[in-house]
Structure 1
């Protein structure tokens, strides 16, 4: 494995760990702002317990990894 690939993988794992520790409301607001900026309409982002995800698309993890943010088109 090359050094640059290893550095990239370590950077991504670091960022994922940081995002998982964010409060759900903060991460939800950040993601919603990015979607709104891109002109996405008719969606719902919800924070749910890990075992309550169901068929929704998971777009993030928050509250120390105890919850998932799900995305559903309305």
Structure 2
């Protein structure tokens, strides 16, 4: 009986962990909406592999931690102001 309960618990944990994986587009859309609501403009959000080295700001992770979303301020806006 104890083994059956333990097995059931492990199965439920693995199912809930699998359900927690969120697509990169969903996370990217949420980050985009949050930045827009704060008045941030002229930026790029890019999805890259988790192993990709970057000096840019990581603003999200997706696909169960396999990828990350990085934020980069576009320089075009600064040149347009000059």
Normalising by structure 1, we get a TM-score of: 0.69
- Bigger-Rg structure (1/2): 2
Q: SS at the partner of 2:51?
A: helix
4+ runs deviating over 3 angstroms: none
Q: SS at the partner of 2:58?
A: strand
Q: Which runs of 5+ in 1 are unaligned?
A: 1-16
CA distance in 1, matches of 2:65, 2:27: 12
In structure 1, the residue matched to 2:5 is none
In structure 2, the residue matched to 1:55 is 55
Normalising by structure 2, we get a TM-score of: 0.62
In structure 2, the residue matched to 1:24 is 24
**More relative contact order in 1 or in 2 (CA 8 Å, sep 6+)?**
1
- RMSD of aligned residue pairs (Cα, Å): 1.6
Q: Which runs of 5+ in 2 are unaligned?
A: 1-16, 75-82
Equivalent pairs, count: 56
In structure 1, the residue matched to 2:73 is 73
